[in-house]
Amino acid sequence: MAVTDTRSFEALTLGLGGEIFAIDANSVHEILDVVPQTEVPGAPPLVGRLINVRGKVVPLADLRIRFGMDCTPPTIDTRIVVVEILLDDEPTVVGLLADKVHEVTSIAGASIEDTPDIGMRWNPDLIKGIGKRGDDFIVIPDIVRIFTTH
Amino acid sequence: MRISIKAKIVAAFGTVILLSAATAGIALNGLSDLNEKIEQLVSVSAQRINIARQMPTTVFLLQREEKNFLLSNSEEDMDRFDKGMLARREDFKGILEQYRRVADAEGNRKAAQIEALMTEFTSAQDKVRSIGRIHSNSKGAELLTGIGNDSVATAQEALRPLLDRAENGSQATAEQVAIAHLVRRMTTDWANARIIVRNSLLVPDDAATAAVLKPLPDLLKNISQQQDAIRGRLTADEDVRAFNSFIDRYRAYERITSDAVALALKNTEVKALALSVGEVRAAASKLSQAANELVADAEKGMAADKQAAEATYAQIRMITLSAVALALLVAIAAGAYIAISIARGLGKAVGLADAVAIGDLGRKVEVSSDDEIKDLVTALNSMTANLRATADVAEEISRGNLTVQARPLSDKDMLGMALETMLEKLRGVVTDALSASDNVAAGSQQLSASSEELSQGSTEQASAAEEASASMEEMAANIKQNAENATQTEKIARQSSKDAQASGEAVNKAVQAMQTIAEKISIVQEIARQTDLLALNAAVEAARAGEHGRGFAVVASEVRKLAERSQGAAAEISSLSAESTKIAQEAGQMLGRLVPDIRKTAELVEEISAACREQDIGAEQINQAIQQLDKVTQQNSSASEQMAATSEELSSMATQLQETISYFTVEEKAAVRGAIARTPSSQASPQPASQVAMARPAQASAARRHPAVITVPHKGSVKPNGRDRGVKIALEGGNGPDELDARYTAH
C-alpha cells in the first residue's frame, strides 16, 4: 500500500493488545471513560455493542477483533475514543475501544513507511502505514477500511 | 360398876318411848269420850232442833194457804188452796210424830200441848173455810159486770133515736130537744145509781155498805118519776115504741141491781177475813209460840251438849300436854348426860392423840367413867408407852450407841421392825464407812504422788511444744513472704494482660486509619485519572485547533504530566499504606495471640498466690494448735498439782470421816477394831509405808531428769502401787496420816 500523504499530522496514540496505534486527532471527538454498554444481538462482532454518548447512540467497535488480538477484559486504563469517520461520504460517529490512550503527538510524514508485505501479523489492507517514534513503531490503521471491508 | 354407853342409850330411849306410849293411851281414851259427845250432839240435839224448826214453818205455810184461799176468786183456785191447807195439816201431824220419836219427857209434854193447840187452830180455820167459800161481793160484781152491763148497753141503745134526733139532727123541734134533755138527765141519774151499787160491792163491812146504799132508793124513785115525765111528753109512735123497749130493758136491769144489792149486804169475804185475822191468827200464833219454845228447848239442849264436849276436850288436851312435856324433859336430861359424858371422854382421848401427833409422848390420861371411852383411853395410854419405849431406843442410837437392841412388839410392828433394820443397817454402814474411809485415805495419798509426776512430765512437754511453735512461726513468716510475692507478680501479670489488650486495640485503630488513608488515596488517584483524561481531551481539542491550539496543547500536556505524577505518587502511597496495614494487622494478630498467654500466666500466678495464702493459714493454724497444746500441757501440769492438793485434802477428810464415824460404838467391835488397827501398824511397821511413799517421789524426780524415760518406769511403779493398796488400808488407818501428809505437802 502506498503512502498517500507524506505530511506530518497530529495524531492520538493509543495502545491495543500491546501495540501502539495512531489515529488522526482531527477525527477524534472526545475520549471517554468506559461507560455502560448495550449488546446488540445478531450484530457483527466488530460493532456488537452500543453506547450512549451525550444522548446519542453510538456503535462501539473493538479493533482488537479486526486485528485478531486477544480480547482482554477492561482495565483501569481502558478508554473509549469517539471518532467521526466518513463512511460512504457520510460522517459517522463511532466509538473505538482502546486498552490505553497515550498522548496527542505529531507524527512527521517522513517517518511513515509503507507497510511491509511480509512479516506482518495483520492484514496489511487495514493499515495505512507504520510510523516510528523513537524506538517504537506506531501503527496507523485505516479506520474507514476497517469498517468497510469484511 | 360398869355401865356401857350402849346400856345408857338403851335406858334413856326406853324411858322416852314408854312415856310416849302412855301419852298416846291417854289421848286415845279422851278422844273416844269426845267422839261419844259429838255423836250425841249430832244425832239427837241437832235433829230435835231440825224437826222443831219445821213446825213454825208449816204453820206459816198453813196460814199462807188460808190467805190464798180467801184471796182467790175462782172455784178451782179455792179447791186447790183448800187441798193445800189439808195437806199442810197432815205434814204438821207427821212432823209432830217425828218429834215425839226423838223427844225426851219434857218434849213429849210440850208436844201434847202443841197437839191441843193445833186442834184449836184447825177448828177455827174450818170456820173460815166454810164462810170463805160463799164469796158474796165477788159474785155481785160478777153479776154487775156480766148481765148488768149488757142490760145497760141495750137500754141505752133503745134510747139512742130519741137522743140522736135532738143532738145530731138538724131539724129538731123544741119538743124533741126538751125530751132529749129529760132523757139525758134520766141517764145521768141512772149512771149515779150504778156507781152506788158498785161501790156497795167494793166496801167490805156491813155498816159501810148500808151507808153507801142509803141514797139508792130515792135515786131509783127519781128515775122512775123522770121516766113517767118523758112518757108524758112523747107524742110520736115510734118514740113511744122506743121508750117502751127502753123501759123493758131498764126493768131487767133493776132486777139485777136488786140481786147485787142483796149480795152486797151479805159481805161474806169480810167476815171470813175477820175470822182469819182474828180467831185463826190467835190460834196460829199460840201454835207458833209453842213450836218456837220447842225449838228454843232443843237449842238449849244442844248448847249444853256442846259445853260438855268442850270440857272433855280441854281435859284431854291438858293431860296429853303434860305427858308430852314430861317425856321431853326425860329425853333431854338423858341425852345431855350421855352426850356430855362421851364428849368429855373423847376430848381427853383426842388431846392425847394430838399430843402424840406433835411428838409429845410424856402425857397420860385418866377417865372416871367405866365404859368404852375408858377402853379407848387405856389403849391410847398403852400405845403412848410403846412409842415412848421405841423413842428411847432411837435416842440411844442418836447418842451413837449402836449396841442397843430393838425388839419389834409383834410381827406387824412396822416402826419396831424398821428400827431394828435401821440399827442393823447402820451398824453395817458404819463398819463399811470406817473401812472405806481408811481405803480413801491411802488411795488419796497415792493419787497425790502420781499427780506430782504427771505435773513434771507435762511441764517438759510444754517446753518442747514451745520450741516447735518457734520453728513453726519462722516457717510461717517465709510462707507469708512467698504469698506476698506471688500476689505482687499476679498483679503485674494482670496489668500486662490489660496493656497487651490495649496495644491490640491501638493497632486495630491504626489499621483502620490506614485503610481510611487508602480509601482517600484512591479518591486522589481517581481525580488524577480524571484529570489525565481531561488533559487528553484538551490535547485532542488543541490538536484539532491546529496551529491555534498549540499553546493550549502545551498546557494540556503539562497538566497531563502533573496528573500522571500525582497518579504515580498516589499509587505509591497506596502501596505503602497497604503494606503498613498488612504489617499492623500482623502486629495486631501477634498481640492478640499474646493476650491469652499473659492472661494464663496471671491466672497461674494467682493460683500460686492462693496456694501460698492457704499455706500461710495452715501454718498459722499449726502454730495455734501447738500453742494450744502448750497451754493444755501447762493446764495439765497445774491440774495435776491441784489434784495432788485435792488428794491431800481428801486424805485429811478421810481421817476426819474416821473420827466422825468413831462416834458410833458398834458392839464390842469398837475395842477389837482398835486392836486390829494397831496390830498391823506395829507388825508391818511404818517402814514399808514410808518406803513406798518415799519411792514415788524419788521416781518422780528421776522422771523429771529424764523426760524420755518417763513412761516405762512410771507404768512399772503404778502396778505395785495398785497391789499395795489392798494391804495398805489398815496400816495407814491406824497410824496418824500427819507424817505422810507433811511429806506430800513438802513436795
- Do B544 and A79 count as a contact with CB atoms less than 8 A apart? no
- Evaluate if residue B251 carries a pLDDT over 60: yes
Contact B536 A31 (CB under 8 A): yes
> Smallest CA–CA separation between B553 and chain A, in Å?
9
Taking the domains of chain A in order of start, what are their residue ranges?
9-148
Is the model's pLDDT at B556 over the cut of 80?
yes
Q: Is the dihedral of CA B324, B330, B334, B336 positive or negative?
A: positive
When mean pLDDT is compared across A67-81, B72-86, B649-663, B681-695, the lowest value belongs to B681-695
Q: What pLDDT does residue B691 have? A: 40
Residue B644, SS3? helix
Q: What is the pLDDT of residues B639-651, one digit of tens each?
A: 888 888 888 888 8
Nearest Cα neighbor of B227 from B254, B250, B256, B194 is B250
The CATH number assigned to the domain with range B136-268 reads 1.20.1440
How many angstroms from the chain centroid is the CA of residue B734?
79
- Select the highest-mean-pLDDT range: B44-58, B213-227, B248-262, B501-515: B501-515
Touching A: B residues 552-571, CB under 8 Å: 553, 556-557, 560
3-state secondary structure of A131: strand
Give the E-state strand segments of B358-452 in sequence order: none
Give which of B222, B252, B65 is closest to B146, Cα–Cα: B252
Nearest CA-CA distance, residue B557 and chain A, Å:
8
Let me know the angle formed at the C-alpha of B306 by B305 and B308, rounded to the nearest 5 degrees: 65
**HEC profile of B696-708:** HHHHHHHHHHCHH
pLDDT in tens, B193-205: 888 888 887 776 7
Please tell me the number of Cα atoms within 13 Å of B660 on its side-chain side.
Answer: 9
Chain B residue numbers touching A23 (CB-CB < 8 A): none
Specify the CATH architecture of the domain B455-635: Orthogonal Bundle (1.10)
The predicted pLDDT at position B745 comes to 53
The fourth-level CATH superfamily of domain A9-148 is CheA-289, Domain 4 (2.40.50.180)
End-to-end CA distance of chain A: 18
Query: How high is the pLDDT of residue B562?
Result: 92
B651 membership: H or E segment, kind and range: helix B550-661
Question: Scanning the structure block, which residue is given the C-alpha cell 498391823?
Answer: B680
Architecture of domain B5-132+275-325: Up-down Bundle (1.20)
User: What are B360-402's pLDDT values in tens digits?
Assistant: 888 888 887 788 888 888 888 888 888 888 888 888 888 888 8
Q: Looking at the predicted structure, is the pLDDT value of residue B746 above 60?
A: no
Give first-to-last CA distance, chain B, whole Å.
Answer: 89
* Chain A residues inside the 8 Å CB shell of B557: 103-104
- What span, in angstroms and rounded, lies between the C-alpha atoms of B388 and A68? 166
Mind listing the pLDDT tens digit for each residue in B427-486? 888 888 888 888 888 888 788 888 878 878 887 887 888 888 888 888 888 888 888 888
Residue with cell 159481805: B267
CA B596 to chain A, closest CA, distance in angstroms equals 45
- Higher-pLDDT residue of B509, B145: B509
**ipTM score of the complex?**
0.86
CB contact under 8 A, B553 and A101: no
Query: Taking the domains of chain B in order of start, what are their residue ranges?
Result: 5-132+275-325, 136-268, 455-635
Neighbours of B167 (CB within 10 A): 13
Identify from A80, A104, A106 which residue to disrupt to test chain B contact, counting B C-beta atoms within 10 A and taking the largest count: A104
